[in-house]
Amino acid sequence: MWQLISKKLYFWNIFENTGSITIAVMEEFHDYTMMFLTIIITFITVFIYRLMTTKMTNYNFKENINLEIIWTILPMVILFMIAYPSLYYLYLFDLSMKPTVTMKVFGAQWYWIYENFDTEKGQSYSSYMTPDSELLNGLPYKLGWRLLETDTRLVVPYGTEVQCLTTSLDVIHSFSIPELGIKIDAIPGRLNSVTFQVTKPGVYYGQCAEICGTGHSFMPICLEALV
């Protein structure tokens, strides 16, 4: 019974499983903000309900200085309590201490090009979507998600800070892996940077999040974190 309930809760979960510190912090901030939203909606609903159902009317109620001060200061306090952690996490995500690995990602029509930076030599390789015929005719343990599996995966070490530099060779693309909290635009002539740290080994899938042409739906991202 409990296994069935846990499976239902898993499928009804809003977010995917957290695979990095970035997405874990995002989920924590989401829950923190939803707490204030739930309190405000509940208060307004109860207040409107009492106004609609009460039979008492106060015709002499003109003004209340204390009430006006409360409903002016209280929203300011709530906004400050939401804005402070929001700005803190925003600057924290942009902070890069000392990345262990630096990867460069090129967006092209319609595939990805990955390049490893190494002290001795760099290695560049392209990543294309695996066709359905190869998925069906391949080995069972190599079967992946349709339209998400690629012939070459982006391999990064698990548990270390990874810096990803993105750019594009033609039009604007977007390097996005939701399970890791990564979404960064690949713009021609511009180099964007994002830093992340995978908290558990595994395979993580993503797609281009920018409409870049007719092959937009067929340039997936497949990242594999190894120990």
Strand partners for 173: 186
Fold classification of 2-94 is: Helix Hairpins (1.10.287)
The H or E element that residue 44 is part of is helix 21-53
Superfamily for the 101-226 domain = Cupredoxins -  blue copper proteins (2.60.40.420)
CA-CA distance, 6 to 4, in Å (whole number)?
5
In the chain, where are the structural domains located? Answer: 2-94, 101-226
User: 218, 178, 180, 192: which is closest to 106 by C-alpha?
Assistant: 192
Reading the chain (227 residues) residue by residue, the pLDDT tens digits are: 334 333 433 444 445 566 677 777 888 888 899 999 999 999 999 988 888 887 777 666 667 788 788 888 998 999 999 999 888 888 877 776 777 788 888 999 888 999 876 545 557 888 888 887 777 776 665 666 788 888 888 888 888 888 888 999 889 999 988 888 888 888 998 888 888 888 888 888 888 888 888 888 888 998 888 87
Whether the CB-CB separation of 96 and 159 falls below 8 Å is answered with: no
- How far from 136 is each of 108, 147, 158, 205, 223, CA to CA, in Å? 27, 13, 30, 19, 21
3-class secondary structure, 36: helix
